[in-house]
């Protein structure tokens, strides 16, 4: 298998292109991948195409940074930009993939073969291997280790108290490169795994529908287990309420997305080696897979398959993993979704995260929430600015708030009862930028449970 095709039901053409985009595998194990002169040459080639195009200027800070460098150079062209400044563009990319999936007319099969996100990833990988990433940033992306430590009951209290104390936040800032005003999530010692273990389980006869088999093994995710255990519990309750057998994946490590964003591909490889045998076995035993966070689904659906195109287990996991609302809407089409909602949700400012949008599955969360009577949705399809660690780090926090501002303003204008996003970090980031927040943001899965009254 040489290329990754869009998932079933995906749009047939990228914006501005006539043919469906194909994604070439990431050549991270080839000798030339880490060759710095070759990388600089490719950066110059692609930067020059982008300079002539400029249609991504509003997507993120990477493109304005590039265009400012060009416009302030002596030649007004890319050849006037110092190669030592190329990294300034790379720093601003958080690998959301929107430029590739929604804007670029020059992605393969176009002969110009522009894959801006993966070129940024290659540049990040080269920088990481050269030792250019500080230890504080590496610590910040060690999510599993963090979660494990911070979920020990006494440590949980200390971690959450430190989060609220300005003095301690300064120290945290030094250790982890976190901006003192950035919103940090709470940790929970009553983890998702502990909560789900206490729920009543059932094993209904599986009822396949479309590509779903009716049995789901949930990849809990580090964030789900330690930072939002209630959401994982709600997901399990909602799936079981709809006659789906559910279990948690027996053990897991971070999906690898935070390390990917850092360019630490060796860590991504280590995590993949831990996760894939467990996930692959579950698929072989007849389970579908699901994760409550779009970035983690995207990792198994796109990034890992592009790193290991020849690995049959990786490809089997890619085909078996689903976004929760994508899954439920497949079931709905077969008449297998309970639509007897008991409680209205009121006014919901719902944000569709980039890492869900680029999966090309359509706005499934919006479609399902719209089925709930007494629910008014403000649908926001724009970058929240959080993007992994971008919204936390000292150097990028202010820029991330600038990106979040129009989203927060739109939510404020709608005066919602609740803010929601499939990405809990994005929801918190938006609420953090709003003037008036009535209640804490809620994951759409939690809203669904609320609507069922279960």
Q: Which stretch binds ligand SF4 (CB under 6 A): 6-14, 59-67, 137-145, 156-164?
A: 59-67
Pick from 4, 39, 56, 369: which binds ligand SF4 (CB under 6 A)? 56
Q: Which stretch binds ligand SF4 (CB under 6 A): 52-60, 315-323, 406-414, 431-439?
A: 52-60
Pick from 4, 26, 43, 95: which binds ligand SF4 (CB under 6 A)? 95
What part of residues 209-248 is at the interface with ligand SF4 (CB under 6 A)? none
106 near ligand SF4, judged by CB under 6 A: yes
Chain CA centroid to CA 395, Å: 21
Q: Which stretch binds ligand SF4 (CB under 6 A): 60-68, 168-176, 252-260, 396-404?
A: 60-68
Pick from 26, 43, 104, 182: which binds ligand SF4 (CB under 6 A)? 104
299 near ligand SF4, judged by CB under 6 A: no
Distances (CA, A) of 61 to 121, 125, 213, 383: 16, 20, 41, 11
What part of residues 9-38 is at the interface with ligand SF4 (CB under 6 A)? none
257 near ligand SF4, judged by CB under 6 A: no
Q: Which stretch binds ligand SF4 (CB under 6 A): 110-118, 245-253, 342-350, 399-407?
A: 110-118
78 near ligand SF4, judged by CB under 6 A: no
Q: Which stretch binds ligand SF4 (CB under 6 A): 37-45, 69-77, 109-117, 139-147?
A: 109-117
- Tokens read off for 141: 């992306």
97 near ligand SF4, judged by CB under 6 A: yes
60 near ligand SF4, judged by CB under 6 A: yes
CB atoms within 10 A of CB 170: 12
Pick from 120, 125, 140, 298: which binds ligand SF4 (CB under 6 A)? 120
59 near ligand SF4, judged by CB under 6 A: yes
Contacts of 292 (CB under 8 A, 6+ apart): 218, 220, 221, 224, 228, 231, 232, 235, 324, 443, 445
- Give the shortest CB-14-to-ligand SF4 separation in angstroms: 10
- Give the shortest CB-394-to-ligand SF4 separation in angstroms: 19
- Site track for ligand SF4 across 122-161, x = CB under 6 A: ----------------------------------------
- Give the shortest CB-80-to-ligand SF4 separation in angstroms: 18
81 near ligand SF4, judged by CB under 6 A: no
How many residues make contact with ligand SF4 (CB under 6 A)?
A: 24
Which CB, 308 or 390, lies closer to ligand SF4?
A: 390
- Give the shortest CB-301-to-ligand SF4 separation in angstroms: 16
- Give the shortest CB-334-to-ligand SF4 separation in angstroms: 35
Residues that bind ligand SF4 (CB under 6 A): 49-50, 53-56, 59-60, 62-63, 93-99, 103-104, 106, 114, 116-117, 120
């Amino acid at each position: 298998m040489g290329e990754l095709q869009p998932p079933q039901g995906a749009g047939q053409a990228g914006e501005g292109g006539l043919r469906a985009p194909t994604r070439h595998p990431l050549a991270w194990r080839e000798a030339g991948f880490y060759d710095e002169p070759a990388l600089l040459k490719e950066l110059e080639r692609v930067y020059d195409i982008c300079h002539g195009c400029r249609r991504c200027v509003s997507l993120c800070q990477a493109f304005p940074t590039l265009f400012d460098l060009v416009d302030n150079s002596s030649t007004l062209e890319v050849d006037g930009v110092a190669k030592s400044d190329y990294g300034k563009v790379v720093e601003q990319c958080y690998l959301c993939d929107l430029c590739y999936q929604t804007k670029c007319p020059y992605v393969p099969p176009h002969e110009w073969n522009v894959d801006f996100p993966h070129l940024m990833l290659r540049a990040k990988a080269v920088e990481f291997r050269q030792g250019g990433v500080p230890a504080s940033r590496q610590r910040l992306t060690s999510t599993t280790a963090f979660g494990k430590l911070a979920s020990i009951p006494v440590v949980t209290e200390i971690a959450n108290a430190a989060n609220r104390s300005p003095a301690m936040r300064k120290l945290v800032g030094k250790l982890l490169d976190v901006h003192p005003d950035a919103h940090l999530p709470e940790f929970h010692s009553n983890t998702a795994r502990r909560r789900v273990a206490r729920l009543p389980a059932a094993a209904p006869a599986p009822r396949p529908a479309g590509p779903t088999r009716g049995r789901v093994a949930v990849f809990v995710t580090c964030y789900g287990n330690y930072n939002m255990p209630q959401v994982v519990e709600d997901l399990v309750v909602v799936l079981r309420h709809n006659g789906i057998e559910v279990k948690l994946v027996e053990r897991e490590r971070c999906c690898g997305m935070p390390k990917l964003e850092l360019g630490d591909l060796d860590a991504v490889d280590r995590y993949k080696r831990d996760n894939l045998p467990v996930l692959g076995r579950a698929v072989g035993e007849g389970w579908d897979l699901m994760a409550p966070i779009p970035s983690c689904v995207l990792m198994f659906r796109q990034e890992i398959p592009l790193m290991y195109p020849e690995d049959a287990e990786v490809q089997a996991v890619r085909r078996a993993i689903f976004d929760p609302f994508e899954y439920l809407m497949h079931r709905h089409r077969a008449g297998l979704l309970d639509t007897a909602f008991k409680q209205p949700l009121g006014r919901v400012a719902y944000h569709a995260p980039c890492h869900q949008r680029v999966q090309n599955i359509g706005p499934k969360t919006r479609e399902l929430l719209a089925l709930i009577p007494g629910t008014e949705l403000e649908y926001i399809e724009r970058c929240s600015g959080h993007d992994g660690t971008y919204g936390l780090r000292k150097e990028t926090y202010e820029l991330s708030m600038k990106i979040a501002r129009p989203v927060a303003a739109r939510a404020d204008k709608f005066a919602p009862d609740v803010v929601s996003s499939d990405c809990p970090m994005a929801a918190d980031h938006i609420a953090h930028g709003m003037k008036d927040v009535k209640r804490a943001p809620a994951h759409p899965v939690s809203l669904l449970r609320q609507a069922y009254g279960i």
